[in-house]
């Protein structure tokens, strides 16, 4: 008799992460992690992303110790300064002005926690993005159309935001959207769920 696969839970309220995880064709539930995302004083963007990804997975795993829980977080890194979600048009415009003509590293972290067997790991998938030199008119037009106010760094690369960019360098293609699926699969296999294993 084969053992049942553990329940898979995505600890996230992000529709982008939910849509990405659906690509793996695994059944999963979604729960809000309710994690404080305030950066610590002097905390580097990569460290912040890793800490929050793990904290989100841990928060939900506490309530579901038999489940495999995925947490993820993304912090835009402009010369060592964390750039978060803008929340509104004006802050998004300010972010894009600052990133115009710059290289920004989107520090995307994924964590998987499975309490019943003591598994807990987090991986970082940095994505280096080179922004074009952007005019005021381009920024305003883009923000009016894409409204990326819930995206770190104010740019949706999977949508019109790709027109803001000159180059994307990554070894995990979905990391920029918010969930690095290559690393997610790696962690899921280590935790006991293989996306390519027949049911």
Catalytic residue among 66, 73, 90, 194: 73
Closest by alpha carbon to 149, among 88, 90, 83? 88
Whole-angstrom CA distances from 14 to 33, 40, 178, 179, 189 are 11, 23, 9, 10, 23
d(CA 111, CA 193): 14
Q: DSSP string spanning 99-150?
A: HTT-EEEEEEEEEEEEGGGTEEEEEEEEEEEEEPP--HHHHHHHHHHH--TT
**Please, which residues have CB within 8 angstroms of residue 169's CB and are 6 or more apart in sequence?**
127, 128, 129
Q: Is 73 a catalytic residue?
A: yes
Widest CA span in the chain: 64
Contact 177, 20 (CB under 8 A): yes
**Residues catalogued as catalytic:** 73
């Amino acid at each position: 008799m084969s053992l049942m696969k553990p329940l898979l839970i995505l600890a996230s309220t992000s529709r982008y992460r939910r849509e990405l995880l659906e690509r793996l064709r695994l059944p999963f539930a979604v729960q809000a992690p309710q994690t404080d995302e305030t950066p610590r004083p002097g905390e580097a963007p990569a460290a912040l992303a890793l800490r929050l990804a793990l904290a989100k997975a841990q928060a939900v795993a506490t309530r579901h110790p038999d489940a495999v829980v995925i947490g993820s977080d993304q912090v835009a890194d402009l010369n060592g300064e964390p750039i978060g979600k803008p929340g509104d048009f004006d802050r998004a415009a300010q972010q894009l002005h600052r990133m115009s003509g710059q290289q920004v590293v989107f520090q995307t972290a994924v964590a998987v926690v499975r309490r019943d067997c003591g598994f807990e790991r987090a991986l970082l998938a940095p994505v280096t993005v080179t922004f074009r030199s952007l005019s005021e008119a381009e920024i305003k037009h883009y923000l009016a159309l894409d409204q990326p106010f819930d995206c770190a760094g104010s740019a949706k690369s999977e949508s019109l935001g790709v027109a803001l960019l000159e180059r994307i360098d990554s070894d995990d293609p979905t990391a920029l959207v918010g969930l690095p699926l290559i690393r997610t699969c790696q962690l899921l296999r280590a935790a006991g769920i293989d996306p390519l294993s027949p049911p």
